[in-house]
Structure 1
Amino acid sequence: MSNFWGSQGFGMESVDASGLSGGLICLWDDSLFHLVSSVKNRHFIMVRGQLVGCNSVVNYLNVYAPQGIPAKKALWEELSALISNYDGFWIVGGDFNAVRFREERRNCSFKPSCANNLNAFVFESGLIEYDLRGMQFTWRSDNGNKLSKLDRFLVNSDFFNEWPEARVQALPRKWSDHCPVILIAKAVNFGPHPFRIFNSWLDKEGFSEVVENACLEFAGSGYHPDTALIKKLGFICGRIREWRDKMIQKEGEFRQVAENELEDLELILESRDLSEEEEWVMSENKKILAEMEFSKAMDLRKASNVIHGLSIGDNWVSKPSLVKKGVFNFFRSKFVEECEARPTLICANLKKISSSDASWLEAQFSRDEIKAAVFGCGDDRAPGPDGFNFRFF
């Protein structure tokens, strides 16, 4: 492996292949990653250690899942137990030999039970998946007719919070029926992060009152209507920021109370059975934590929807200044008239609409028409530059 790595300064853990299938290897730079322990199995390698410049322990699981559905389910259960026993950052990557959703297969049979088992493992282990970029599928048959997304990276919320803008990039396949997949955690600076409304906020206590009070308190007289709207949204944004900071603090306190009560009840379980009331308290606290984790995961997925680069011509561009220039040139081209001189149409007998119809077409839009247009856009859309999405409106 030193010939492959190019020097002797590396660490390594491996699992031998079984016949023509299997075989796993993990390699790392000894100057950047210091191994503490490892766990090996026919279907996975776990390496645990310290990454230079990182304050938390890093756990990496290299997975090569078996073919059978029962065997895969047993592997998910084993990995879930392993993840629950170790703290720190978790990265789980490899060939899962399974898909999570029907659209991750093309011209292949979709097995709901297999997908449900994988999704249960992801949810119960508190893992989050980055969107795959570059390609939609990671495996294809020899003739190219069958395609599946079998390879992926999953991380825990601690890792996601530290690197919310990380991305998973699929590279061109050359020597295998699988394409290489790489997790890139390098931060790209596109400037300050804009304000953004999350759908989960709209149902939280106090949000509607904050927005309504801000609308009533805003004094926008004397401004042009467009300017007044911009200033009004800015005023509302400031009030929402204040509410958000208080809400995060309050939810953190709720989470701490729920976790403390669960720890107390688990200690009680070691000496006696729980009473009916204590069982209800345990169930409610687990429900509270699960709802908080789910809401947090959805918000994090929205927050990670950033542009990491663009394909401009035949080149992939990731430098922020070039990406911004590419976006600017794309939209500017939509407002350029390619035809320099239009021909004149002379036809005396051409049918025309009536003057009343012409006036109707040129009339200003009514308030009801504007409201119908905005409300008809659907609520699950990307936010505008001001951070407000259609569901908010």
Structure 2
Amino acid sequence: MNFLSLNIQGLGKKAKKEWVKDLCHKNKVNFLTLQETKMEKMDMFCIKKCWGNMAFDYVHSDAVGNSGGILCVWDPNSFYKESVTISDSFVMIRGVWRATGLKYMIIAVYAPHEMKGKYLLWDYLQCEIKRWDGETVVTGDFNEVRHKSERFGTMFYAHEAKVFNTFIADSGLVEVSLGGSKFTWCHKSGSKMSKLDRFHVSKNLLNTSPNINAITLARYLSDHRPILLREISYDYGPIPFKVFHYWFDMNGFNNLVEVAWKEYPGNDSNAIRYFMGKLKFLKSKIREWNVTRRLADNLMQFKLIKDLENLDAAVDRGEGKDEISCIPKSKSGWAVEGDENSKFFHGMLNKKRSLLNVRGVLVDGIWVDNPHEVKNEFFEHFSSRFQHPGTKDATIVNGFFLTGEVDSVMSSSYKGSILVNGVNHGGLNLKRSLTQWGDPLSPFLFILVMESLHLSFQRVVDAGLFQGINIGEGLVNISHMFYADDAVFVGQWCDRNILRSFHVL
């Protein structure tokens, strides 16, 4: 499914039609929603100019004064229309997506500017969405933002945003993450920008279609960017091998791991490489076992289905109604179909994966979604972050106590890896500390590392291996202090304290 939603203002008729036609053709659009301030009278010829051919069905809402009109066009081979509700602020289409047989309600919105009109619109749409038994897609120009960060150069009204967010949550909708530009509307002067256009879908749609994502397209001459909702998956390569806990409860798995670990044929003299080789060998053996296990499970499932069919036939003949027959049937049904929560939990995992996956990255103002290019961008970014910053060692301030600033505690022997959507994109040498100015991850990484460093150093102090400074007649002993993004060690001036500090690091 490819939904294209755009708001056209300030374009000539010919340029507008050619631009829309080109967008539909390039993105293989099978559902188009178009909002325009002053839309000309709709006819088949006019829509054909935008769509590109005569294979379409459509509905529209006429412009009323300065209130915008809405046009929805779709490929009847992809979507079958059952009913339509038309208003000045929206067009609501109910039907069936032919490829999946699922019922869809697609709502194209062109929200009014006045807050009172928005309240009435949110209330009505919420009631209709709750009544609908199927999937929902809501798109268009909402003339509202959800967060302060979605406005630039214009006033943000917290109450209006709260009402909008409440409508989304109470309607059971989820916003599809929008890749590309941060803002979808821009004033011609460039001094004001907002995110007004977006896609919201029902929660279950993300469960059943986890590869749905949205991007912004080129703005051209309009002040709104088109937004495209598409179902597309990119192969980032095989994810790292995972071990599932339930495997350890299966007969033969523990023995398989033990035998594979002992049978490793490698003889590398380097301990790390030898260990990695054993892990790779074990990984291959577990994969072979997993393939065999799945084949056995499929055969068992096929046998259980046959048993269920035989039991149903026996019940129809009036035989096998005793309790002994019902017990294996219930067990067989659970093994074949799973319990009532299986679908729910699988759906939750699919939705979480859909929301957290990296769809692309903005590089010099251009949206890049090719998996190889995306992984390279992440690798180059973190490689530059962790390159060698130069030499900066601990320094002695005076002869009474030592103070050292921990700025670069990593050596070239430390390795790191870049994971994009769970896929390893190679390792890199870590030649720089985690506490770097300008990196938004630094405070969090600093906290994680400093917590471990504090525990390690405190054990040394408690054991009397590092002598700190006593303050207030020995009531307080200071050995190390952490603040902002720095760590300072304070202690008596002696060789032992210096050696202990470096040993802890």
TM-score by length of 1: 0.60
Structure 1 residues 370 and 6, CA gap change in structure 2 (3 angstroms): same
Name the structure 2 match of 1:308: 359
Structure 1 residues 143 and 29, CA gap change in structure 2 (3 angstroms): same
Q: 2-side partners of 1:132 and 1:12: how far apart?
A: 26
Amino acid at match of 1:369: L
Describe the superposition over 1:310-330 as per-residue Cα deviations: whole angstroms up to 9, x where unpaired.
455676443323433444455
Name the structure 1 match of 2:199: 153
Aligned residue among 182, 189, 192 for 2:228 = 182
Q: 1-side partners of 2:365 and 2:224: how far apart?
A: 23
Q: 2-side partners of 1:195 and 1:129: how far apart?
A: 31
Name the structure 2 match of 1:122: 168
Name the structure 1 match of 2:446: none
Query: Is 2:153 aligned against 1:107?
Result: yes
Q: 2-side partners of 1:174 and 1:360: how far apart?
A: 52
Q: Is the 8 A contact 1:37 1:48 kept in 2?
A: yes
Q: Is the 8 A contact 1:46 1:62 kept in 2?
A: yes
Q: 1-side partners of 2:140 and 2:410: how far apart?
A: 60
Secondary structure at the aligned position of 2:210 is classed as coil
| Cα RMSD after superposing both structures | 4.9
Secondary structure at the aligned position of 2:136 is classed as strand
Q: Is the 8 A contact 1:165 1:304 kept in 2?
A: no
The within-5 A match list for 1:271-350 is 300=351, 303-311=354-362, 316-328=367-379, 331=382
Q: Is the 8 A contact 2:179 2:367 kept in 1?
A: no
Name the structure 1 match of 2:139: 93
Describe the superposition over 1:52-92 as per-residue Cα deviations: whole angstroms up to 9, x where unpaired.
32131121100011111111011101001111111111110
Q: 2-side partners of 1:24 and 1:326: how far apart?
A: 39
- Work out the number of aligned pairs and report it: 290
Name the structure 1 match of 2:103: 57
Structure 1 residues 177 and 87, CA gap change in structure 2 (3 angstroms): same
Q: 2-side partners of 1:360 and 1:7: how far apart?
A: 70
Amino acid at match of 2:101: N
Amino acid at match of 2:75: D
Name the structure 1 match of 2:503: none
Q: Is the 8 A contact 1:165 1:306 kept in 2?
A: no
Identity of matched residues, %: 30
Structure 1 residues 372 and 301, CA gap change in structure 2 (3 angstroms): farther
Shift of 1:183: 1.2
Name the structure 2 match of 1:135: 181
Amino acid at match of 1:41: S
The within-5 A match list for 1:1-393 is 1-192=47-238, 252=341, 300=351, 303-311=354-362, 316-328=367-379, 331=382, 368-369=452-453
Q: Is the 8 A contact 2:56 2:73 kept in 1?
A: yes
Name the structure 2 match of 1:245: none
Q: 2-side partners of 1:130 and 1:163: how far apart?
A: 12
Gapped runs of 5+ residues in structure 2? 1-46, 243-257, 259-270, 280-337, 412-448, 458-481, 483-505
Structure 1 residues 42 and 327, CA gap change in structure 2 (3 angstroms): same
Structure 1 residues 163 and 352, CA gap change in structure 2 (3 angstroms): same
TM-score by length of 2: 0.47
Amino acid at match of 1:112: A
Q: 2-side partners of 1:173 and 1:23: how far apart?
A: 20
Amino acid at match of 1:84: K
Secondary structure at the aligned position of 1:82 is classed as helix
Structure 1 residues 326 and 97, CA gap change in structure 2 (3 angstroms): closer
Shift of 1:152: 1.0
Shift of 1:367: 9.3
Shift of 1:11: 0.8
Shift of 1:162: 2.0
Q: 2-side partners of 1:363 and 1:308: how far apart?
A: 32
Gapped runs of 5+ residues in structure 1? 197-218, 232-248, 256-291, 343-350, 377-393
Structure 1 residues 372 and 134, CA gap change in structure 2 (3 angstroms): farther
Amino acid at match of 2:69: G
Q: 1-side partners of 2:404 and 2:362: how far apart?
A: 45
Shift of 1:164: 2.7
Q: 2-side partners of 1:20 and 1:194: how far apart?
A: 56
Q: Is the 8 A contact 1:13 1:26 kept in 2?
A: yes
Amino acid at match of 1:163: S
Q: Is the 8 A contact 1:309 1:318 kept in 2?
A: yes
Structure 1 residues 144 and 88, CA gap change in structure 2 (3 angstroms): same
